[in-house]
Amino acid sequence: MTTRFDVLTIGNAIVDIIAQAEDDFLVREGIVKGAMNLIDTDRAEHLYAVMGPAIEASGGSAANTAAGIASLGGRAAYFGKVADDPLGTIFAHDIRASGVHYATRPLNGHPPTARSMIFVTPDGERSMNTYLGACVELGPDDIDEAVVAQSKVTFFEGYLWDPPRAKDAIRLAAKTAHAHGRNFSMTLSDPFCVDRYRDEFLELMRSRTVDIVFANEAELKSLYQTAAFEAALEALRVDCAIGIVTRSEKGCVVVTREETHAVPAHPIEKLVDTTGAGDLFAAGFLFGLTNGRDLPDCARIGAMAAALVIQQVGPRPREPLRAVLAEEGL
Amino acid sequence: MTTRFDVLTIGNAIVDIIAQAEDDFLVREGIVKGAMNLIDTDRAEHLYAVMGPAIEASGGSAANTAAGIASLGGRAAYFGKVADDPLGTIFAHDIRASGVHYATRPLNGHPPTARSMIFVTPDGERSMNTYLGACVELGPDDIDEAVVAQSKVTFFEGYLWDPPRAKDAIRLAAKTAHAHGRNFSMTLSDPFCVDRYRDEFLELMRSRTVDIVFANEAELKSLYQTAAFEAALEALRVDCAIGIVTRSEKGCVVVTREETHAVPAHPIEKLVDTTGAGDLFAAGFLFGLTNGRDLPDCARIGAMAAALVIQQVGPRPREPLRAVLAEEGL
């Protein structure tokens, strides 16, 4: 059967509010460095009041991945919930202008579009503070099954276990995808997110609801509750068809039952802001996978896309990745 | 009499929506390159629909100048009108978080906060498309005369002649400033803006309503309707107490009745986005002037601030300018 999309991604639709901050600010405000901190309205108001001058950019992990795939020349679609408000308009504009098919019905009324206040410390690390807003309303009604059926891979972010009904949407999408012989994929998103939903994530993998799993080293170790990287990698190899573990400047490792591929990180000039690194890695990898590339090449394209986004402020590359791909001979 | 502020600036309070574009896009859409194009609601909707993925950042020429002065360590205040809506919240947050005193009452209801769609071409030039929104409501009621009286210099943007009642606000502010022995300053803003209000701008200068005038070369030539730079400079020398003309990579010239100072541009590595260049030049110059520096030093500080902002995307420097000033030995 022909496909309409290479990759459909599903996630929390978020606008990022990005400012610089010192490490002692994070300590003072009780923000867990490098993590995604969930916040409520009061906390959001407090943090915005003490935040420095900011810029705004559309974000959301899986949305960044979809934008990255489109930027690479892939055919991408996205499901995610915004409200019918100015930030929702910005989010919808940006993802469509990136070339991604996006038609999720916006929420009419309260709560407003989600936003994440992101503090970037001098070392380039980002610490996120996310108010989920309209994302809490994403549910099975938002799954356009025709789009799932027509996508080679459907990919979602583990963060979707935070809002109440998104997991039902994901289970429906997985069923539809597999009924049409498609692959289903997830990212573990964040080590604390893994800690919140460890058993459910392992069940998704072991029940073969999920075929392809993306994790970084901290998430992998959190999943298997071990400090032993190699042991965790062996467990991952058994629990999914393809496992991809990113290790920042140490590159990444791709494992299947039979294969192991270690691919180095792409060189960078200056680390500016790590926001979007994992999202863009997944974009590159899934673009490669759905366009007939072998696993090491998928990882190389992922590494290139991640390298590009961490050398700028904001989670989506401003340069078209397709051009960079060609320059790099990938 | 003691002062509370070094510089008060008054202008159109705008949030910038910034995207990359090719030159043929500008031609196709009828956007005058390098200029500030005024647009209405329909045009704004059309341009946003054809605009690529964007980022948002607080802007507004005189607001950028105020933020720059605060970033240099100066005491700055700002008057400008937003609406009580999400973009207005972003604008107010950013300028206050920059350390600028900002207390203009937001407009309750329609029209919404102003926004400018800025297209940055591969040469780094920016072409602005501004929907004035709530700015049209700025009037004499928004002039807090106590703040004017307590500011060494009050500075406004020529763009304020576009909304209907801001000129009345400016005339009131000028009267108050001069009654307290303060200086009054303006930027000519844009060659097409000069073309719209040439006679009024000349009257402001010749009536000594304005003491200190900032212009770039194109604005100066438009003011005196001549292609002869030197002749225009001689006319400027007569028409104001201090005239400052910026000439991009050719540096700037400062003229008074008796003095002429040519100061070179600050070296840059890579031109990224010219948005804010003139605004930050004025910030550096006025910071120097209100902190007892001589005219060539004022121009050097302006050149440094301008150089910094054109090497990033967005109109306000993300690095604190005070630190850069110290590094440069200024």
Residue B8's pLDDT band, with cuts at 50, 70 and 90, is very high
Q: Which residues of B touch A316 (CB under 8 A)?
A: 53
Q: For residue A90, give the chain B residue with the closest CA.
A: B54
The phi, psi pair for A282, rounded to 5°, reads -60, -40
Q: For residue B58, give the chain A residue with the closest CA.
A: A55
Q: For residue B47, give the chain A residue with the closest CA.
A: A93
Across the interface, do B54 and A94 touch by the CB < 8 Å criterion?
A: yes
Beta B183-187 vs A126-131: how paired, if at all? unpaired
- Rounded to the nearest angstrom, the minimum Cα separation between A46 and chain B is 12
One digit per residue, the tens of pLDDT, for chain A of length 330 reads 689 999 999 999 999 999 999 999 999 999 999 999 999 999 999 999 999 999 999 999 999 999 999 999 999 999 999 999 999 999 999 999 999 999 999 999 899 999 999 999 999 999 999 999 999 999 999 999 999 999 999 999 999 999 999 999 999 999 999 999 999 999 999 999 999 999 999 999 999 999 999 999 999 999 999 999 999 999 999 999 999 999 999 999 999 999 999 999 999 999 999 999 999 999 999 999 999 999 999 999 999 999 999 999 999 998 899 999 999 888
Instruction: Please report the pLDDT score of residue A179 as a whole number.
Output: 98
Q: For residue A20, give the chain B residue with the closest CA.
A: B318
Contacts (Cβ under 8 Å, ≥6 apart) of A242: A211, A212, A213, A254, A255, A256, A295
Q: Where are the alpha helices (DSSP H) in B72-212?
A: 86-97, 145-149, 166-179, 191-206
Across the interface, do B51 and A97 touch by the CB < 8 Å criterion?
A: yes
Task: Specify the number of domains making up chain B.
Answer: 1
Residue B1's pLDDT band, with cuts at 50, 70 and 90, is low
Count other C-beta atoms under 10 Å from residue A71's C-beta: 29
Contacts (Cβ under 8 Å, ≥6 apart) of A292: none
Residue B329's pLDDT band, with cuts at 50, 70 and 90, is confident
Across the interface, do B57 and A56 touch by the CB < 8 Å criterion?
A: yes
Across the interface, do A87 and B86 touch by the CB < 8 Å criterion?
A: yes
The Cα–Cα gap between A158 and A278 comes to 13
Across the interface, do B52 and A97 touch by the CB < 8 Å criterion?
A: yes
- Rounded to the nearest angstrom, the minimum Cα separation between B66 and chain A is 13
DSSP string, A34-59: TSEEE--HHHHHHHHHH--S-EEEE-
Chain A residues at the B interface, defined by Cβ less than 8 Å, are 19-20, 48, 51-58, 67, 85-87, 90, 93-95, 97-98, 313-314, 316, 318
Instruction: Please report the pLDDT score of residue A1 as a whole number.
Output: 65
Does the pLDDT of residue B316 top 90, yes or no?
A: yes
Q: Tell me which residue range forms the domain holding A148.
A: 5-327
Q: For residue B320, give the chain A residue with the closest CA.
A: A20
Does the pLDDT of residue B226 top 80, yes or no?
A: yes
Q: Which residues of A touch B316 (CB under 8 A)?
A: 53
- The token duo for B80 is 């400008």
Residue with tokens 């400047």: A249
Residue B232's pLDDT band, with cuts at 50, 70 and 90, is very high
CATH of the domain at A191: 3.40.1190.20
Chain B residues at the A interface, defined by Cβ less than 8 Å, are 19-20, 48, 51-58, 67, 85-87, 90, 93-95, 97-98, 313-314, 316, 318
Please say whether the beta carbons of B202 and B194 come within 8 A: no
Instruction: Please report the pLDDT score of residue B152 as a whole number.
Output: 98
Instruction: Please report the pLDDT score of residue B307 as a whole number.
Output: 97
- Count of A–B CB contacts within 8 Å? 60
Instruction: Please report the pLDDT score of residue A161 as a whole number.
Output: 98
Of the residues B41, B48, B93, the best mutation for testing chain A's interface (the one with the most A CB atoms within 10 Å of its CB) is B93
Per residue, the 3-state secondary structure of A93-157, as one string, reads HHHHHCCCEECCCCECCCCCCEEEEEEECCCCCEEEEEECHHHHHCCHHHCCHHHHHCEEEEEEE
